[in-house]
Amino acid sequence: VASVVSALFLTALALVKPFKRFDDFYLACTANLLLTCCFVLGTVVQICESAAYEDMCDTLVGFPSARGASSFVIVLTVTTIAVSLVLVVFKAIGALRAPTIRLLSNRRAPVMDLSKKCHFHGFISHIWSTGQDQTHTIVRQMKLVMPDVRIWLDVDCLENLGALEESVGDATTFLVFLSVGYFKSRNCRRELYAGLALDRPFIPIHEADVEKGGAALEVLKAECRAHCVDDAGLGTYPSYSGP
């Protein structure tokens, strides 16, 4: 009975995946697998020690005596534990060597949870002419240190230009890459207005290098004042639903 219950729990654990962190999930599955093996092997030893099942012992494990079955169980258990420990060590070494962002509170990588209403951690808004290469590099670098992060990027996610506002709403954070021409773009302003209306946390990224399409903040402020004069209220855009 214990073997069946343990096996069912292991199956449920693999299907439901209740742990937020993969290493916790891996350790839980490994521990439960070892527990299941102990129950099964204990049953085998009990069968072999019973005179009523003497022939069945030879049929199940190929050992004519309980001593041989016990030795087999011990060797198999030790091997399983050793393999599990080796895998844990290799995983720990790989995790330490991999570049990643860690929290000061616990020295562990942040858990990248998402609310049920959003599918992305961030939406990055930029103008193609002066910010496309930089934003793509930023997203790639973010994924190197946070492999589970999901960033909405036009080249990967844009399917309908008329649904930019909905795309902004599908992310928990609004990242804006400020470069020359950003505020001149109507689509960039649509994204900006949607982020403001939805009250998303803003993360501004300023490109100051003029040779890479950047400009001083005063220049970008002047560009904003000159072009952010259109009505961003409800009904202005077909897909805009307001805050």
Per-position DSSP letters for 139-208, written without gaps between them:
HHHHHHH-TT--EE-HHHH---GGGHHHHHHTBS-EEEEE-TTTTT-HHHHHHHHHHHHTTPPEEEEE--
pTM above 0.75, yes or no: no
For the chain, 243 residues long, the average pLDDT of each consecutive 10-residue run is: 77 74 71 77 72 64 67 76 78 70 78 84 93 92 86 85 88 94 93 89 93 92 88 47 37
Per-residue confidence (pLDDT) for residue 233, from 0 to 100: 52
Per-residue confidence (pLDDT) for residue 242, from 0 to 100: 37
Count the Cβ atoms, other than its own, within 10 Å of residue 241. 13
